[in-house]
Amino acid sequence: MLLTGGGRAGVRPFRKDGGGPLDRRLPWPRQRRVLRRWRRTRPFWGGLLLILGGAELLLVPLSPLTVLVSLGLGGIAAVGIGIALVVAGLFLWFLPHAHHYVSVNALILSVLSFAATNLGGFLVGMLLGIAGSAMGFGWTPVPEDAEEDPAPPRVRDGQGTRTLAVLLPVVIVAGIVNGSPARAAPAPSIVAARTPPTITTTLFAPQGFIVAGVTKIPTADGPLKVMVLRMKAASLTDYALKTRDGGGELALGADTLDLSGSVTLYLTKFKGCIEGLLCLTFTPDRLPVPPLVPPFVFMTDVSAEQALVTSDSIVAGGLSLKASA
């Protein structure tokens, strides 16, 4: 057993050369040592899997295969999602401090690739993206001046983050398929209409979109169960609202509708196509997971039953109002 000055019996000292006999026989020891030190200060393997998954999604629609499973713009979606996963992998390499945010976004894109592309690159690209996202999310930072062969961390170090990283893909997939119960949100004191009006828009682009949970709001016929969506701002194109109370109905339309400030939507139903590709329907008993929606996500062909909306500012362009007997 080798001992260094001040070393204790039974304790193996750290090696500054960072390897055994085989490592010393390989060429370029200094370059490999620098690369190894750089690799250990970022989620390298998670980023590598994301890059490989994105490259596989890119290669499938460009390959000479005679049969491809593609719906609509599946080929274009495969290229877009593939490039996004490659960029996410590079972000994990060069911006490791943002690994939580990047990993969650990459995981959502990986799951969406199953429906938006050729079955997620025939499952290979999707599974690589999910595995890379989980590894990137569960990565624990290592100081740059750490030893080349650091001692294994204790079981409790980063245990919560790693456990969440393992469960995160399961939670998102299960939430998209089956829905998930949400926490209750405080109810407003404003009395809403008996029957929520119907809202339609061709494009819904939110900013800072958060699913705040489920609550009950007061109406003339009693409490109404609604889901609560909060955001910093939202832009709607070809906006149309129609009341459903019967009798004299009103129809409100606008070419564009911009909401800003503390925007809160109270809905009994929300239907739309994420990125114009994956169409889903949400209700108070079937909410989306995760509750935090990435900032680049938009929805098309949206139809909702809106019980109430609150906002600091509402700006409408091309406003029109019609009444019917």
Residue type, 247: G
Distance in angstroms (rounded) separating the CA atoms of residues 322 and 309: 20
Pairwise pLDDT comparison (55 vs 60), residue with the higher score: 55
Beta strands in the chain (DSSP E): 198-207, 210-217, 224-242, 249-274, 278-282, 299-310, 313-317, 320-324
Rounded to 10 deg, the angle between the 124-137 and 74-94 helix axes is 30
Residue with tokens 């245990």: 159
Cβ atoms of 193 and 244 closer than 8 Å: no
pTM: 0.47
Q: How confident is the model at residue 213 (pLDDT cuts 50, 70, 90)?
A: confident
Cβ atoms of 86 and 50 closer than 8 Å: yes
Pairwise pLDDT comparison (119 vs 179), residue with the higher score: 119
**pLDDT digit string (tens) for 12-31?**
444 444 455 656 667 777 78
Token pair of 124 as six digits: 């290979």
Which helix (DSSP H) or strand (DSSP E) does residue 165 occupy?
Answer: helix 159-178
Distance in angstroms (rounded) separating the CA atoms of residues 296 and 206: 9
Q: What is the pLDDT of residue 188?
A: 64
68 pLDDT higher than 60: no
**Average pLDDT of the chain, as a whole number:** 75
Distance in angstroms (rounded) separating the CA atoms of residues 49 and 68: 23
Token pair of 89 as six digits: 């992998």
Q: What is the pLDDT of residue 9?
A: 42
**pLDDT digit string (tens) for 276-305?**
777 888 888 877 655 555 556 788 999 999
